[in-house]
Structure 1
């Protein structure tokens, strides 16, 4: 199989991809971990990241309807 090179293709960041279709798509939230040994802080971070994962799912659904 021959590889076709396209010099007009460029790698884009998430912020650039969001604006491809007129900027209507929402950007995903990023998860964060502090690497703490404190169980209470870890539990709070896990809860916060769980909410962010749910929000990212909603954002994904929203983005599917934006063209």
Structure 2
């Protein structure tokens, strides 16, 4: 096997790779795979908020 200089990353290092300095964490999206339109609409609104929070976290993590 060829050594490709690969290393394992711990959780902190993974956060830094995925989101800058890792000052702010990211929220998870919520989908229950429901057929109820009211629940689906509520999840869509919630996930729009999650998208906004994650966008703000991304900006905050990438500022100096």
Same fold (TM over 0.5): yes
Question: Normalising to structure 1: TM-score of the pair?
Answer: 0.69
Q: Point out the structure with max Rg over C-alpha.
A: 1
Ranges in structure 1 where 5+ consecutive residues have no aligned partner:
none
Ranges in structure 2 where 5+ consecutive residues have no aligned partner:
none
Higher helix share: 2
Distance (whole Å) between structure 2 residues aligned to residue 50 and residue 19 of structure 1: 24
State the structure with bigger RCO (CA 8 A, min sep 6), 1 or 2: 2
Question: Normalising to structure 2: TM-score of the pair?
Answer: 0.71
Q: Which runs of 4+ in 1 moved over 6 A?
A: none
Aligned pair count reads 59
